[in-house]
């Protein structure tokens, strides 16, 4: 580190309507350092970096790059200034090749593309940093870990000296994380300056030189990593002591409420995504399914809820017969509660009022109908009751769900599903994108369901979440269960399973086909 400030932001404000996402933010980045940007979801980390990258324009304040005050209006401005960003949600065009994606929008590529020569250029940088990406592969066929490397290559080939990595480890296995940070350190040593956005404290402690903590849009402080500790950072980040530590009492389990046998399901691309998975969930336990995103968990969840056709195998719920052809309605009436992975797309009808969303799935029930007509009073009372019980912050029962914050949207779904009193609760990524208060609330409800003798199936890519809540942990890799362990298995053991080491016989049978 030379101590030279490559970025200096002073008094930066960014508003969305009346909401202040960044308030009087000061931030600086030194040449050759890895600078952690820590904060909860919604603390304003991504907003601040999007300002720096030109996707948003700030409303007030000064931004200096290499000592020069700059006015970044669009990503092309920031790219010219040597700033590159690797987004949390990859900005890659699935249909194009690695090389095409890398040179997309780059004027250096010229009007008529000489693909061979461009692939050569990609290969050179590839070799320099040991990335091992094939320049002519089509993006959608690549695993996420490789896709992320393509994103980094994209930034490097644009001659960026300042790299912003937004939650880069969210979709990686523990060993891929390791590998990523080896590269990051290498880059820093060669004079690149790196901002690492994350909410994972262990990453901050292990890989950064300095860390800035954001809370509700404001910078709480910037400290040298070597002079701080996890407890201090947590308090800075959250503003109070919270515990997301495991706090679950041992309890006896009951009857098998959900049984899946030899399930085979195809993905959207019409290739097998779940390849012969079997498991049981009993009353009073939480089975956690861990795994890196894209290993078939989502398809498994959709098959269980009846949203995706089952090619082979059966599902039996609440003592029912073994079924292959199931519809969402069958499962709901058989006693399945479902918290879907994407609350805005699957969980809610955003333009509908809260009260209408709260009866989704029960709209035909006698409770909410009076003869031919809907029972307005019953629906209103029901909504008012759940809003109070679940502490849904809103203007009233008619407020469109689309106007609610993410946490409150998730509470609406949770309220609806829990209120139906299902025997089996399937929760897929139930806390993704929520702030810590909402996370506590949602996890609390899942624990409560377990304590009440429900069978809970939790599918999550958040390993901490799985380890905090589950009784048993199954790890999914490439469409099959690579193993099942107890909740107290070591991180290393789970990490190996997530990376597909220790394949079971099932998997071998599949690959032999």
Partner 1 sequence: MNKFKEKLRGFAKPFIAIIIAFIICWLILVISGYDAPKAFGALWNSGFKNIKSFGTVLNKTSPILFTGIAVAFAFRGNVFNIGAEGQLLLGAAAATWVGTTFTSLPSYLLIPLILLSGAIAGAAFAYIPGYLKAKHGVSEVITTIMFNYIALQFIGFLVRGPFKDTSQMEPQSHPIAASGFLPYIIPGTKLHIGFVLGIVFAIIISIILFKTYFGYEVRAVGFNPMAAKTGGIAVERTMITTMLISGALAGIGGAIELAGTTHYLLEGISPGYGFTAIAVSILAANNPIGVIFSAFLFGLLSAGATSMQRAADVSASFVNIFQGVIIIFISIAAVKSVGHKKLSLKKGGN
Partner 2 sequence: MEQLASFLAASMRMAAPLLIAALGLAISERAGMINIGAEGVMLMGAFSAYAGAKLIGSYWAGMGIAIIVSVLMISIFAITTITFRAEQVVVGAGINILCAGLSSVVYRKLFYGGFEGIASTTITVKTFPELPIPGLSQIPVLGPMLFNHNIVVYFGLVMVVVLWFIINKTSLGLKLIAVGEHPKAADSLGIDVIKLRYLATLFSGIMIGIAGAYLSIAQSNAFAENMTSGRGFIAMAVVILGKWSPIGIFAGSLLFGGANSLQMSIQNLGITIPRNFVLMIPYIATVLAVVAVSKNKVGAPSAQGIPYRKA
Q: How far is C-alpha 155 from the chain's CA centre? A: 23
Axis-axis angle for helices 144-157, 115-129 (nearest 10): 100
Q: How far is the CB of 369 from partner 1 (least distance, A)?
A: 6
Q: How far is the CB of 99 from partner 2 (least distance, A)?
A: 10
DSSP string, 378-397: HHHHHHHHHHHHTT---S-T
Q: How far is the CB of 144 from partner 1 (least distance, A)?
A: 19
Residues 12-51 that bind partner 2 (CB under 8 A): 16, 50
Say what the alpha-carbon torsion angle 236, 239, 240, 244 is, to the nearest 10 degrees.
-70
Rank residues 209 and 403 by Cβ distance to partner 1 and give the closer one: 403
Nearest C-alpha neighbor of 358 from the set 383, 385, 390: 383
Question: What distance in Å separates the CA atoms of residue 209 and residue 172, rounded to the nearest whole number?
Answer: 22
Q: Is 350 near partner 1 (CB under 8 A)? A: yes
The encoded tokens of residue 192 equal 């690149």
Mark 50-89 with x for binding to partner 2 (rule: CB under 8 A) and - for no binding: x--x-xx-----------------xxxx-x-----x-x--
CB contact at 8 A, 212 and 18: no
Task: For residue 485, give every residue at least 6 positions away whose Cβ sits within 8 Å of its Cβ, in sequence order, or none.
Answer: 472, 473, 475, 493, 494, 497
The encoded tokens of residue 56 equal 């948003």
Q: Is 420 near partner 1 (CB under 8 A)? A: no
Q: Is 441 near partner 1 (CB under 8 A)? A: no
Q: How far is the CB of 466 from partner 1 (least distance, A)?
A: 23
H helices of 60-109, in order, are 75-80, 98-103
State phi, psi for 53 to the nearest 5 degrees: -90, -10
Tell me how many residues contact partner 1 (CB under 8 A).
43
User: How far is the CA of 1 from the CAs of 175, 188, 206, 228, in angstroms?
Assistant: 27, 9, 17, 19
Q: Is 82 near partner 1 (CB under 8 A)? A: no
Q: Is 380 near partner 1 (CB under 8 A)? A: no
Binding site partner of 356, from partner 1, partner 2, none, Cβ cut-off 5-8 A by kind = partner 1
Rank residues 176 and 302 by Cβ distance to partner 1 and give the closer one: 302
Rank residues 106 and 264 by Cβ distance to partner 2 and give the closer one: 106
Nearest C-alpha neighbor of 167 from the set 193, 146, 198: 198
Q: Is 332 near partner 1 (CB under 8 A)? A: yes
Mark 124-163 with x for binding to partner 2 (rule: CB under 8 A) and - for no binding: ------------------------------x---------
User: Residue from 189, 240, 345, 505 that binds partner 1 (CB under 8 A)?
Assistant: 345
The encoded tokens of residue 161 equal 């000296």
DSSP string, 119-171: HHHHHHHHHHHT----TT-BGGGS-HHHHHHHHHHHHHHTT-SEEEEESTTTT
Q: How far is the CB of 111 from partner 1 (least distance, A)?
A: 34
Residues 188-227 that bind partner 1 (CB under 8 A): none
CB contact at 8 A, 106 and 158: yes
Q: In what order do the strands lie in the sheet with 5-16?
A: 19-30, 5-16, 60-65, 68-69
Q: How far is the CB of 370 from partner 1 (least distance, A)?
A: 10
Question: What distance in Å separates the CA atoms of residue 288 and residue 291, rounded to the nearest whole number?
Answer: 10
Q: Is 94 near partner 1 (CB under 8 A)? A: no
Tell me how many residues contact partner 2 (CB under 8 A).
31
Mark 274-313 with x for binding to partner 1 (rule: CB under 8 A) and - for no binding: -------------------------x--x--x-xxx-x--
User: Residue from 270, 488, 490, 513 that binds partner 1 (CB under 8 A)?
Assistant: 270
CB contact at 8 A, 476 and 295: yes
Please report, as ranges, the residues that interact with partner 1 according to CB under 8 A: 265-268, 270, 273, 299, 302, 305, 307-309, 311, 327-329, 332-333, 338, 340, 344-352, 356, 359-361, 363-364, 368-369, 372-374, 400, 402-403
Please report, as ranges, the residues that interact with partner 2 according to CB under 8 A: 16, 50, 53, 55-56, 74-77, 79, 85, 87, 90-96, 100, 103-107, 109-113, 154
């Amino acid at each position: 580190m030379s101590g030279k400030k490559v970025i200096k932001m002073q008094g930066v404000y960014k508003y969305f309507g009346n909401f202040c996402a960044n308030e009087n933010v000061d931030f600086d980045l030194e040449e050759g350092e890895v600078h952690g940007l820590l904060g909860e979801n919604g603390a304003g980390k991504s907003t601040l970096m999007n300002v720096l990258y030109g996707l948003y324009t700030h409303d007030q304040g000064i931004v200096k790059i290499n000592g020069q005050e700059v006015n970044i209006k669009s990503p092309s401005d920031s790219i010219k200034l040597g700033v590159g960003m690797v987004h949390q949600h990859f900005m890659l065009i699935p249909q194009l090749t690695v090389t095409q994606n890398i040179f997309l929008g780059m004027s250096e590529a010229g009007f008529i593309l000489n693909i061979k020569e461009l692939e050569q250029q990609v290969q050179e940088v590839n070799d320099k940093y040991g990335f091992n990406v094939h320049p002519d592969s089509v993006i959608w066929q690549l695993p996420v870990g490789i896709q992320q490397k393509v994103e980094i290559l994209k930034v490097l080939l644009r001659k960026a000296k300042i790299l912003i990595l937004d939650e880069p480890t969210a979709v990686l296995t523990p060993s891929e994380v390791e590998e990523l940070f080896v590269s990051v350190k290498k880059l820093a040593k060669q004079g690149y300056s790196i901002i690492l956005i994350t909410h994972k404290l262990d990453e901050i402690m292990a890989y950064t030189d300095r860390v800035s903590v954001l809370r509700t849009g404001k910078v709480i402080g910037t400290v040298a990593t070597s002079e701080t500790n996890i407890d201090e950072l947590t308090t800075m980040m959250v503003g109070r002591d919270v515990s997301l530590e495991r706090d679950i009492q041992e309890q006896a389990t009951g009857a098998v409420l959900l049984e899946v046998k030899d399930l085979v399901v195809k993905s959207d691309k019409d290739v097998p995504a779940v390849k012969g998975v079997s498991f049981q969930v009993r009353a009073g336990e939480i089975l956690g399914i861990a795994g890196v995103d894209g290993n078939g968990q989502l398809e498994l969840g959709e098959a269980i809820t009846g949203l995706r056709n089952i090619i082979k195998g059966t599902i039996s719920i609440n003592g029912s017969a073994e079924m292959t052809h199931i519809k969402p309605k069958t499962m709901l009436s058989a006693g399945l509660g479902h918290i879907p992975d994407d609350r805005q797309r699957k969980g809610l009808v955003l333009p509908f009022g809260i009260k209408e969303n709260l009866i989704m799935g029960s709209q035909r029930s006698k409770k909410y109908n009076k003869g031919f007509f809907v029972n307005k009073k019953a629906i209103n009372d029901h909504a008012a009751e759940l809003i109070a019980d679940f502490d849904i912050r809103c203007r009233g029962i008619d407020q469109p769900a689309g106007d609610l914050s993410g946490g409150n949207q998730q509470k609406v779904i949770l309220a609806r599903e829990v209120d139906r009193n299902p025997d089996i609760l399937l929760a897929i990524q139930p806390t993704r994108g929520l702030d810590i208060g909402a996370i506590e609330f949602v996890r609390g409800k899942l624990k409560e369901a377990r304590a009440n003798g429900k069978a809970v199936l939790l599918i999550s890519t958040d390993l901490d979440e799985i380890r905090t809540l589950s009784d048993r942990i199954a790890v999914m890799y490439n469409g099959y269960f690579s193993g099942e362990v107890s909740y107290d298995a070591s991180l290393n053991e789970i990490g190996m399973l997530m990376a597909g080491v220790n394949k079971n016989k099932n998997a071998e049978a599949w690959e032999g086909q």
